[in-house]
Amino acid sequence: MPESRRGLIHGAAAYGLWGLLPLYFHLVDQVDAGEIVAQRVLWSVVLLVPLVLLLRRGGSLWTALRSPRVMLMLATSAAMIAANWLIYVWAVLHHQVLAASMAYFLNPLLNIAIGVALLGERLTRPQAGAVVLAGTGVAVLALGAGGGGLWLSLAIALSFAFYGLIRKLAPVEAFEGLTVETLLLAPVALGYLYWLSSHGGLSFGQERGLTTLLVLAGAVTTVPLLLFAAAARELKMATLGLLQFMAPSIQFVLAITLFGEHLDATKLLSFGLIWAGLAVYVAGGVLGRTRRVAA
């Protein structure tokens, strides 16, 4: 199979699975959001540690563990991704899939803004126009009747954007970084599950089907990350940038069809402005690359 085609399959599979995640979380909607995230962390450890040994990545993992600077950065990124997971799961369990999808539509434009503000990157005219349109969409939602889920969208988008920023700056490979983050979160996850158990709120072990679904939380959420890591090595960033809109698009469709969430005029206008910003962003990137090739 040609390398580019393999990369496209990996990338499409990763974003497709991320888009379908609300279906999984609705199967466990009777479980506390904190327990779902804790189970996700612990079963990811069970999956990742054998993979480290199988892939012979122990040496590079140990190098990361011995570096205080890397560990500080990964501890921060672990806190960011844990917050992102918790808010996202809570949003899905409380019928706020539209807010979650808006967060990931906003994310690439938020990355542009962070690059300008914190990394000194320069905006092209299409990027500036895209950010203005997206910002207008957020303002419309904040001022209109649909502003109730805005804090969810912004919290999910900001936590993931800053997670990406830290991982961009951290001198560690994607697989080793994910493993370290998961190991750092494991004691917190164990502590929370122990607290839940002592207060009679632990769902794990109560029903066989539900317990099986919670065990699968590690694979359901780790496999897309591994597919994404593979795609990132095999595809251009521009291709990944286009593929990333798959996940929120799938979530948007699920929200207004299967989950029956209401898309009122304010939300529709807000989404429309954000989509227009994304269209300007993508078109500007395509035109820019075309001009560079022509030159």
Instruction: Give pLDDT tens digits for 125-159.
Output: 888 888 888 889 888 887 775 556 788 989 999 99
Burial grade of 47 (CB within 10 A; 0-12, 13-18, 19 or more) = middle
Predicted confidence at residue 70, as pLDDT, reads 93
- Residue ranges, the chain, pLDDT below 50: 1, 3
Q: Measure the CA–CA gap between 8 and 124, rounded to whole angstroms.
A: 27
What is the reported pLDDT for 38? 96
Tokens standing for 66?
């011995």
pLDDT digits over 237-274, tens only? 656 767 888 889 999 999 999 999 988 888 889 899 98
Structure tokens belonging to residue 133: 């349109």
Q: How far is CA 166 from CA 68, 114, 119, 120, 259, in A?
A: 15, 12, 12, 15, 34
For the chain, give the secondary structure using H, E and C: CCHHHHHHHHHHHHHHHHHHHHHHHHHCCCCCHHHHHHHHHHHHHHHHHHHHHHCCCHHHHHHHHHCHHHHHHHHHHHHHHHHHHHHHHHHHHCCCHHHHHHHHHHHHHHHHHHHHHHHCCCCCHHHHHHHHHHHHHHHHHHHCCCHHHHHHHHHHHHHHHHHHHHHHHCCCCHHHHHHHHHHHHHHHHHHHHHHHHHCCCCCCCCCHHHHHHHHCHHHHHHHHHHHHHHHHHHCCHHHHHHHCCHHHHHHHHHHHCCCCCCCCHHHHHHHHHHHHHHHHHHHHHHHHHHHHHHC
Amino acid code (one letter) for 104: Y
C-alpha span between 62 and 67 (Å, rounded): 9
Query: What is the per-residue pLDDT for 291?
Result: 62
Rounded Cα distance between 10 and 16, Å, is 10
State the pLDDT at residue 263.
86
Q: What integer pLDDT is reported at residue 191 of this predicted model?
A: 96
Q: Provide the pLDDT for residue 237.
A: 60
pLDDT of residue 90: 95
Distance in angstroms (rounded) separating the CA atoms of residues 45 and 189: 11
Nearest to 269 by CA among 138, 177, 162: 138
